A and B are shown apart, each in its own frame.
Chain A
Amino acid sequence: MMKILNHLWMITSVIFIYTLTGLSQNSNSESWSQFRGPHGDGVSTEDLSQINWAETQPTRLWKKEIGPAFSELIVSEGVVFTMASEQTDSISGFEFVAAYEEDTGDELWRSNVDSIFIEIDGWGHGSRSTPTVDELNIYSLSANGKLTANSKKDGNRIWQLDLVKAFGSTCPRWGYSSSPILVDNQLIMEVGGTDSSAFMSFDKTNGNTIWASANGNASYNSPLLVTIDGQEQIIFANGQKLVAYTSQGDTLWSYTMPFGNIIASPVFIGPNKIFLSGIRNPGFIIVQIEENKATELIHGNSMKNDFSSCLYYNGYIYGFHVASLRCISAETGKVKWTKRGFGKGSLILVDNKLLVLSDQGKLAVVEATPDSYIENGSIQSISGKSWTAPSFQDGKIYVRNLTEAACYTLK
């Protein structure tokens, strides 16, 4: 009897450990399951120390036409998700969320979420926002303001909200662009609604409002989840305020924005600083949070982000100053180096290497060091206007231009 119990205990333990391991591998917290990666900071936490970057040439696994949009590609459990669009005539069409097989790019499903956003200035039609996923669903925001939850498995719609009709939000000139984040059971995002509903939290299961706060029109950047002084904080920035909330919607602190609406997202400089940058003066500011009070540490013109967000690494900010790749000190704002030729590109950090995508699709591996610009190599990963930052998951790099997506492997 004891023997049987021992066997059962062992089997139970193995199953438990296996389950834990499996959960860990599939955990969304460490997968590129949302805008700008696992922590919304443009940084992959994967260990790639075994890769010799100088000798490793990324190999293309697939490339395909998916339709106009600027949404990043996100990855969850072997499936790539994103938003795209299909234009049916000069003024109409639709935006959709879609799922693709990770290794082949084969489309698994697509689900229409809204009519297409037609961009009159010629920047490009379709979605701007990047969806996010949890274990069951994908949550997306169309450029015309439809917030939708679809099943990850087959794309079936779970619920949908129209931000314009439901909350009096006004569509920004270049379309809704903010990307939602998940915090526990809440889907949190910038709405830009009237009656103190600039920033909102929704029950991710049904779209019901949990809390709403602040004033201001919808801008283009995305909220960020950080931990300061042991307190989980949701950071928002619009044309009026930089503000932090608890997950219950209580305001922790706020800071009057020195710029108008910025497009680049806030960057967290641990343990307690926030970096913000816009294309106009003052260029950038760094505020420090102490005892739920925000004070400006420095501001300067050495980093002026247009639509591409910076990232922070080891005391330095890396990003696009107008149209040149630049490294500045996060302490002083002093320029460490500048490299032109990427146009208005984008970048992420993988294992202390910057993966830099030019606005023409050139993908370069650059050392994340303030010493100088050191490029380990580059490939023409995709062609044409490429304003979407790369994504990285399981040794694979995902890139897209306005209409195509491609996947490269480092293995």
Chain B
Amino acid sequence: MKSVRRLIFVILSLFCISSIMHAQDIDEIIAKHIDAHGDTDKWDAIQSMEIRGRFIAFSEEDDFYALKTNSGAYYSELHLGKHKVTEAFNGTSGWTIDPWHDFSFPRALNKTEVNVFNQKAEFFTPFYKWEERGFTVELLGKQTVDGIDVFAIKLSRPNGKSETWFLDANTYLEYKCESEWADFGYGGPAESYFDDFRTVNGIVIPFFIERTFYQRNRMLQIEDIKFNIEVDEELFEFPRSAEMKKLAFLEGEWDVKVDVWSRRGSWYRLDSTFSIILWESTNRLLEKIIYDRIYVQSKWINYSYISSEKKYKIIVYNGFSSDFELFEGNFNDSTFIADQVFINREDSTQQNAFSRIILRDMEGDSFVFEVKTTRDAGANWRPQDKFTYIRRKELF
């Protein structure tokens, strides 16, 4: 019995020692890995990193530019085929303009892409301060990749995504990383290879990165890196399209005079009220207005621009009737015109009778929002409502 207890004690002891050694191993490997990347004090002193180089995609080489900050923001300009691609990430969300993907206008990154941009934006090795950042690591063992001895380490991020890093067992620098990447918005496995490590201002950075995902192949050869350049944080935010900027004058608080077209053929004042128009997102302005038109009308008016259709869309939600109307249109010189669109296009009566919104007399501090109607498919238009907006001088 005594010998059995002794055996159990020995086995437990070996297990504990083994676990401690294992923990020490991965800590030691990561410590050497971080050490291999240079002085951490120098890394800590870097606020931003500007990267210039050459990027090869689809076997065509072109300029590459990227900007990273230590807050996890990322911005880059590159070329896919003949198309210039712009992408940005503020650390939590991002956008891309990718004509290769048929998006010549900014679109938001999906969750898979956000994970990709978390990787792209990695300022230093992801193993630096991994515990503080909520990462977990697991040593998968020593392996051979392409004839090179490597330590394989699984790194899991707080978002639930994980990567496997292969650190060169001799240099402790990263050799390869297997992670999730995105292509046309879809997730899939990628292999990244790191080479051409150079020391810049005492820190060590891979100047060559090759990445394959699906059948794609991308190569980046960095040519120049600058540190602590001034960064315009606006760069990372979803850009307002040039088209939405034309409606930017709407933003603000307005006094509004409400007139209706009388049977006598003249405007008749119904109410004076106020309105608030604010940016809800970079591509959407939202107006909230309440006025009397016999009954109380509570309206939310949504202005946006759909780049793929090259049209502005206005959605008017009426809280009184719990109904909404959709308008599509564009600027015509100094006037904005949007015609009502019906979702049920088969209704012929609706095709002939619909409304039109006109924004006119846009002076910056005033404009007119007019509603007209037609009963003969636009051959003749009859005035219906007129809202005259005067910008409020003071906030209320």
Select which of A121, A324, A344 is within 8 A of B59 by beta carbon. Answer: A344
B35 part of interface (Cβ distance < 8 Å):
no
Cross-chain contact B82 with A306 (CB below 8 angstroms): no
B219, closest chain A residue (CB): A343
B60 touches A344 (CB 8 A): no
B212 within 8 A of A: yes
Contact between A387 and B210 (Cβ–Cβ < 8 Å)?
A: no
A340-B210, A343-B219 given; A372·B193 CB < 8 A? no
Does A186 interact with chain B (Cβ within 8 Å)? no
Q: Is A288 an interface residue (CB 8 A)?
A: no
Q: Answer yes or no: B83 CB below 8 A from chain A CBs.
A: yes
Q: Which of A122, A279, A372 contacts B58 (CB 8 A)?
A: A122
Q: Does A87 have its Cβ within 8 Å of any Cβ on chain B?
A: no
Query: Interface readout for A92-134 with B: 1 if CB under 8 Å, 0 if not?
Result: 0000000000000000000000000000011100000000000
CB pair B217 A343 closer than 8 Å:
yes
Is A279 a contact of B215 with CB atoms below 8 Å? yes
Residues on the B chain within 8 Å of A384, using CB? 60
Q: Judge whether B147 and A360 touch: CB under 8 Å.
A: no
| B199-229 to A contact mask, C-beta < 8 Å, 1/0 | 0000000000010101101010000000000
CA distance A343 to B193 in the complex (A): 13
Known: A337-B146, A343-B219. A322 touches B61 (CB 8 A): no
**Among the listed B100, B214, B217, which residue makes an inter-chain contact with A344, where contact means beta carbons less than 8 Å apart?**
B217
Please, which residues of chain A bring their CB within 8 A of the CB of B82?
122
Residues of B within 8 A of A387 (CB): 59
Which B residues are CB-close (under 8 A) to A324?
212
In the complex, what residues of A have CB within 8 A of residue B56's CB? 343, 360
Q: Which of B100, B146, B217, B219 is close to A322, meaning CB atoms less than 8 Å apart?
A: B217
A86 within 8 A of B: no
B81 close to A (CB within 8 Å): yes
Q: Which residue of B lies closest to A305 (CB)?
A: B215
Closest to A339 in B: B146
Cβ-defined contact, A343 with B59, below 8 A: yes
B residues near A280, Cβ cutoff 8 Å: 215
A contacts with B, residue count (CB < 8 A): 23
CB closest residue in chain B, given A323: B217
Contacts of A306 in B (CB 8 A): 215
A337 CA to B83 CA in the complex, in Å?
35
- Which residues of chain B come closer than 8 Å to A323, judged between CB atoms? 210, 212, 217
Given A338-B146, A340-B193, A360:B61 Cβ within 8 A: yes
A307 to chain B: closest residue by CB:
B215
Question: How far is it, in angstroms, between the C-alpha of A387 and the C-alpha of B59 when the chains are bound?
Answer: 8
Rounded to whole Å, the gap between the CB of B11 and the closest CB of chain A is 38
CB distance from A143 to the nearest CB of B (A): 18
Contacting A at CB under 8 A, from B47-102, are: 56, 58-61, 81-83, 100
Residue of B100, B147, B217 near A337 (CB, 8 A) is B147
Instruction: Judge whether A386 is part of the interface by a CB distance below 8 angstroms.
Output: yes
Tell me which residues from 276 to 301 in chain A have a Cβ below 8 Å from any Cβ of chain B.
Answer: 279-280
Interface residues of A in 365-411 (CB under 8 A from B): 372, 384-387
B-side interface size class: 10 to 19
Interface SS, A side: loop
- Is B147 within 8 A of A123, CB to CB? no
Q: How far is the CA of A261 from the CA of B383 in the complex (A)?
A: 61
How far is B215's CA from A341's CA once the two chains are assembled, in angstroms? 15
B149 to chain A, nearest CB (A): 15
A319 to nearest B CB, angstroms? 14
Closest residue of chain A to B57 (Cβ to Cβ) is A343
Instruction: Tell yes or no: A190 within 8 A of B by CB.
Output: no
A123 to B60, CA, bound (A): 9
Q: Which of B281-337 contact A (CB under 8 A)?
A: none
Q: Which residue of B lies closest to A358 (CB)?
A: B59
- Shortest Cβ distance from A373 into B: residue: B147
CB-nearest residue of chain A relative to B83?
A122
Known: A123-B81, A323-B212. Is A385-B60 also a contact (CB below 8 A)? yes
Cβ A122 vs Cβ B210 within 8 A: no
Shortest A173–chain B CB gap in Å is: 15
A386/B59 contact (C-beta < 8 A), A121-B81, A122-B83, A372-B147 known: yes
| Across-interface contacts of A41 in B (CB, < 8 A) | none
Task: Tell me the nearest residue of chain A to B211, going by C-beta.
Answer: A323
Task: Tell me which residues across on chain B come within 8 A of A386, comparing CB atoms.
Answer: 59
Instruction: Assess whether A359 is interfacial by the CB under 8 Å rule.
Output: yes
| Contact A359–B147 (Cβ < 8 Å) | no
A306 to B61, CA, bound (A): 19
Q: Is the CB of A322 within 8 A of B212?
A: yes
Across the interface, B81 reaches (CB within 8 A) one of A122, A343, A344, namely A122
- A324 to chain B minimum Cβ distance, whole angstroms, is 8
**A385 to B59 CA separation, bound complex (whole angstroms):** 5
Report the bound CA distance from A323 to B83 in whole Å: 21
Q: Which residues of B contact A385 (CB under 8 A)?
A: 58-60
Q: A121-B81, A322-B212, A340-B193 are in contact. Are A360 and B217 (CB under 8 A)?
A: no
Minimal Cβ-Cβ distance residue in A for B217: A323
For the complex, give the distance between the alpha carbons of A360 and B56 in Å.
9
Name the distance in Å between A315's Cβ and chain B's nearest Cβ. 20
Q: Which residues of B contact A340 (CB under 8 A)?
A: 193, 210
- The answer for the CA separation of A122 and B56 in the assembled complex, in Å, is 14
Within the assembled complex, what's the spacing in Å between the Cα atoms of A280 and B188? 12
The chain B residue sitting closest to A337, CB to CB, is B147
Of listed B81, B210, B217, residue having the most chain A CB within 10 A: B217
- Mark interface residues in B144-168 (1 if CB within 8 Å of A CB, else 0): 0011000000000000000000000
In angstroms, how far is the closest chain A Cβ from the Cβ of B213?
9
Encode contact with A along B240-253: 1 for CB under 8 Å, 0 otherwise: 00000000000000
CA of A45 to CA of B277 in the docked complex: distance in angstroms?
77
Question: Mask for B162-204, Cβ within 8 A of A = 1, else 0?
Answer: 0000000000000000000000000000000100000000000
Residues on B with beta carbons closer than 8 Å to the beta carbon of A123: 58, 81
Shortest Cβ distance from B214 into A: residue: A279
Binding site for A on B (CB under 8 A): 56, 58-61, 81-83, 100, 146-147, 193, 210, 212, 214-215, 217, 219
Q: Which 8 A-B pairs have the closest CB atoms?
A: A323-B217, A122-B81, A359-B59, A279-B215, A385-B59, A122-B82, A322-B212, A306-B215
List 9 A-B pairs, Cβ < 8 Å: A280-B215, A337-B147, A343-B56, A343-B59, A344-B59, A344-B217, A360-B61, A385-B59, A385-B60
13 more CB-based (< 8 A) A-B contacts, given A322-B212, A340-B193, A344-B59: A121-B81, A122-B58, A122-B81, A123-B81, A304-B215, A306-B215, A323-B212, A337-B146, A338-B146, A343-B59, A343-B219, A372-B147, A387-B59
